[in-house]
Chain A
Amino acid sequence: MATASTAAGDSAETEAGVRIRMYRVGFGDFFLISVPAAAGGMAHILVDCGVHAHDLGVIGAAVQQLKEDTDGRLALVIMTHRHADHISGFASASDIFKTFAVERVWMSWFEDPGDGKALRIQAGIAATAQHLQAALAARAAPGDDEYLRMAGNALGVAKGGGNAGALVMLHSFKTADGSPTPVDYYAAGDTPALPDELAAAGLEAAILGPPRDLNLVAQMDNAAHQYLTSGAGDDNGPAELFSPAYALAQFPWPKDDQPLFTPEEIENRIVASQPDALAAAAQKADNALNNQSVVVLFTFAGKTLLFSGDAQWGNWANFLFGGAIGTPGHTGLTAQSRKILGNLDFYKVGHHGSTNATPMDVVKAMKAGCVAMCSTDPGAYGNPAKGTEVPRTPLLAALMAKTGNQLARSDQVPVGSVLATAGLPAVAAPFKSETPGTIDFWI
């Protein structure tokens, strides 16, 4: 294999000989970690494989490339959480994945079919997303694209049966000897079972999230429950609240009175204050799934790599602050999290660079010169005017400063590519782009 020989050549040049490859598929995570195996060659870990918004339409080719890169053998597959932009590839390219040999699959404890609470939450979120999708399509309001994407992200893309199809694929891998691949479900603090090949290579892994926190669960449960009962998008609402006899076109203000606002102002303010329950529900469902992300810290030959999926505050807080941020005694980073962040060598930027996935505290505590990779593309989510754009400009600026400009983005392209977009730097050292459609970092 051409790649294997490249790998062997480069590994001599870096301390650990580990390669992190980001497949450029659009707004979606698709990462491959390759570590030198004890028996020679490389052992591979796949972290997510999906795209949803701003799909470049290349995920099939990218999975084919993955097959070449790994010879169809994956020691470990990690599904951080069940959002289409992290798992759609397992559905749409299932014909290729079916030919892979996978030794182990890791998921968050929210995916455990033996856990009644988890099952209920996932069913609730899926039902909500379906409800939202129908309601949003029915109202067809301008500016709803983002919410439709959120609902769609929770359900998955049509090809290959959506997220349900991807989960089927993830649960039906076979190991090299043809037996069903074991699937593990983890929560923060669990000791994960590494496949033999990775353990023999000297890799270590720790699970930092999601917490098995009943409060977090309750909040997610409530959230899903709320949307389903809020009547959001319910078109069968009362057509006429009261008898038409009560309706009035104008409000009879007393003539001699000087009201604070004119009737028109009052009407406009009320109309402008109509809460968008659909939008809020879409956002909450989106957050709930993101917070299920399994967060893994790998250590190999003294180097540490953090893959946080799309984890947001509710998930991170436990690890970073030792409890819910702001509760007594949990207002600053814990000594342990400072230590981990202060020694970090690689960071997969959470949630495509959104403001609520990478707390500023984390950037501050991070080791200067740590390298980061981020799958993102502006314009898919959020609103710069509200400071919610993804990726968040000040956050990426802070990360650029902290990493010493060692931040690779999936919307960057190799030097000289005709696809180069104005304003974005081309992929530069320490990153490489030897195989089309990928960005590599050797550590």
Chain B
Amino acid sequence: MAADATVGPEGAAAAPADSAPPALNIYDPSLKIPMPQWRPLKAFAYDPSRGRRLGNCMSVSIRYEKLSPGPIGDRFAVVDYDGAQKTYYAPVDLDDPAILIQGGLDPSEVDPRFHQQMVYAVASETLERFEAALGRRVHWRHAIDADGRQITGRKDRLLLHPHALREANAFYSPDVHGILFGYFRASMTDPGQNLPGQTVFTCLSHDIVAHETTHAIVDGIRTYFMEPTNIDVAAFHEAFADLAALFRHFSHRETLIDTLQKTGGRLYALHLQSASAVAPDGDPADRKKSGAQIQADIAEANPLIGLANQFGEASGMHGSLRSALGTPPNSTDILTVTEPHSRGSILVAAVFDAYFSVYLARATPLLRIYRSGGRHSDDVPTALAELLAAEASRTAEMFFTVCARSLDYCPPVDITFGDFLRALITADRDFYPNDTDGVRDALMQAFRLRGIVAEDAAYFSEGSLCWPEIEAGLLPVPGLQFGDPNGLTRDEQDHDGDLLRKWAKDHAHILGFDEEPDIEVPSFHPMFRVGQDGSLKVEMVVELIQTRADEAMSSAGPVPLRSGVTLIVARPPSEGRKRHDPYVRYAIAKRLDAPREQRLRTTLAASEIARQGPDGRITIDFCLIHGGA
């Protein structure tokens, strides 16, 4: 009981002020102002082309950390070097009181320091969203020196270069250990909402920054995930990065409410009604009669489901770079579309179809209650919009979380859309065993309508699509250490690495590997996540890889033939005073059989987007993929 009293607030208030002078007084109120948890920073919610229109200027709250000019923090370093003009731009000092007091610099296209602030803010926001969903700290891929060796012992920050290129391009590059953003001149003839020939900055597009940061995060999580070993790989990475950027739109309340009001509550409409059409006393018919048309009459594209609007318009593509719902569901695109972005948008559309189905299911009761009085069906008053926005936002958050978590349930190499579907369903079932809103069913139906199937699942049902779960205790990994949510100590890492390599070799046959060569353990990450029932789940995700060099050549070098297994190892809760050995819950494998070998050779040899880094790893060349798009 005494212990309880000391931590209670009443205890603190009751502590006598004049007691003997202790070395340590924990009961007095501290004069030191606690450091804030969050740092607010201003950013464009979309990009400068939307101007100061509704909700385009937002404040991003990111975890507070002490920053040096750059900004340079713990995870990111913004180094504003212009590779085309060979000059640096003055770095912003976000800890300057004048900036702190106004919550960051105001949005500006002409001040590079705002650009630096925005890339830092959006990249940090994206990283935090992923870390929260994954339940662990994300590490960047090891930086490589000129000789292909890993650089160790230095603070590992991802470099952000807001004005690196004079190109309509922005890409994540493992070589620079960072993201290069380009700037370019808007089309003279077809500039959309931009001035003809004005400079367009990719670093000021919230979507582009989030998209590229997602590439860097995924590359850090998985070692060989970006080897373009089948037609889906590059498309998957583009789709996944787009999903991360798009779902963020739904956390932005102002636009969400506006969009809800202009779509009659149906978020998925491609176009919004014009402002005059939804104004309570507006009569667009009158204005039509008078022949006048003002800005508020113009219907605009739905900002929530379009990506990188300014970039798309400035390069003459009429509207956003990609729209999540451009095509009605069909199962032929998946057979014919090969360009990574177009193919990726099939996957994005499938996930969004499911998202909107779930949202509508949740929103329908509200809409029915509201309309039961016979009100105009497309009129959404603010109070209703608030409720709908809460549903849309909650659903988006849940979908993003499941997408992020499903990364851990993907095989470590050679990902296909079908694998991702299985990972999604399994991850969702693991965290939300009671699928009250039919999320898994919505996902399965949406994927089926887009022709995305899992190659090796016998049926299109939840039970068949989930990766098979291994019986508890059947495949133990004795001695595996899980550390705590902040990660493993160096000693624990060494211990687990040695243990897992030996364990993998001993279980090679069971796992479906060959006896030789040695099995690599490129990564293992403990995860601490809270389940639907509130319990803490402690697990570890482990990558196991076996590589055989092949005589076939790709444009990037010899074709590596890899098989891999992702292990999800669970730490069982203690039973009384006894703790059982950790055991493997899932072994998600990509084996190297003859058809797959043949496919790897053909695909890698034909790939025009593969490149080999100084470390010998073959990856997607995002510079080529993102060029002009």
Residue positions of A touching B, CB distance < 8 A: 213, 215, 218-219, 222, 225-227, 229-231, 234, 236-238, 240-243, 245-254, 257-261, 263, 266-267, 269-275, 277, 280, 313, 323-332, 355-356, 359-361, 386-388, 394
Do the beta carbons of B555 and A387 come within 8 Å of each other? yes
> CA of A177 to CA of B85 in the docked complex: distance in angstroms?
65
Residue positions of B touching A, CB distance < 8 A: 68-69, 72, 77, 79, 81-91, 110-113, 143, 151, 154-157, 159, 161, 163-169, 173, 175-177, 180, 183-185, 187, 190, 197, 199, 230-232, 315-317, 334-339, 342, 451, 453, 455, 552-557, 595, 598-599, 601-603, 605-606, 608, 623-624, 627-629
Do the beta carbons of A246 and B315 come within 8 Å of each other? no
A328-B334, A359-B602 in contact; A274/B143 too (CB < 8 A)?
Answer: no
Contacts of B175 in A (CB 8 A): 269, 272-273
Choice from B113, B164, B595, B627 contacting A277 with Cβ under 8 Å: B627
Choice from A270, A324, A359 contacting B335 with Cβ under 8 Å: A324
A270-B180, A328-B334 in contact; A230/B166 too (CB < 8 A)?
Answer: no
- For B187, the closest partner residue in chain A by CB is A229
A–B pairs, 16, beta carbons within 8 Å: A229-B187, A229-B316, A231-B168, A231-B185, A241-B89, A257-B155, A267-B83, A270-B161, A272-B175, A273-B180, A274-B167, A280-B627, A324-B338, A326-B232, A330-B335, A387-B556
- For A266, the closest partner residue in chain B by CB is B79
Do the beta carbons of A258 and B335 come within 8 Å of each other? no
A250-B88, A266-B176, A269-B175 in contact; A328/B335 too (CB < 8 A)?
Answer: yes
Do the beta carbons of A248 and B628 come within 8 Å of each other? no
Do the beta carbons of B169 and A237 come within 8 Å of each other? no
- For B180, the closest partner residue in chain A by CB is A273
> CA of A413 to CA of B77 in the docked complex: distance in angstroms?
60
- For B199, the closest partner residue in chain A by CB is A238
Contacts of B89 in A (CB 8 A): 241-242, 246-248
Contacts of A274 in B (CB 8 A): 83-84, 165, 167
Interchain residue pairs A-B with the least CB separation, the first 4? A326-B231, A226-B628, A248-B88, A270-B83
Do the beta carbons of A328 and B111 come within 8 Å of each other? no
- For A388, the closest partner residue in chain B by CB is B555
> CA of A443 to CA of B407 in the docked complex: distance in angstroms?
57
Do the beta carbons of A273 and B337 come within 8 Å of each other? no
> CA of A252 to CA of B91 in the docked complex: distance in angstroms?
8
Contacts of A260 in B (CB 8 A): 143, 151, 154-157, 159, 177
Expressed in whole angstroms, the minimum distance between the Cβ of B456 and any Cβ of chain A is 12
- For B88, the closest partner residue in chain A by CB is A248
Contacts of B68 in A (CB 8 A): 254, 257
Expressed in whole angstroms, the minimum distance between the Cβ of B322 and any Cβ of chain A is 12
> CA of A325 to CA of B598 in the docked complex: distance in angstroms?
12
Interface centre among B190, B552, B623 (most CB of A within 10 A): B623
Contacts of A225 in B (CB 8 A): 316-317
A332-B595, A387-B555 in contact; A327/B336 too (CB < 8 A)?
Answer: yes
Contacts of B91 in A (CB 8 A): 248, 251-252
- For B189, the closest partner residue in chain A by CB is A229
> CA of A264 to CA of B11 in the docked complex: distance in angstroms?
58
A327-B336, A332-B598 in contact; A266/B159 too (CB < 8 A)?
Answer: yes
Do the beta carbons of A246 and B112 come within 8 Å of each other? yes
Contacts of A388 in B (CB 8 A): 555
Contacts of B110 in A (CB 8 A): 242-243
Choice from B111, B154, B155, B628 contacting A227 with Cβ under 8 Å: B628
Contacts of B602 in A (CB 8 A): 325-326, 331, 359-361
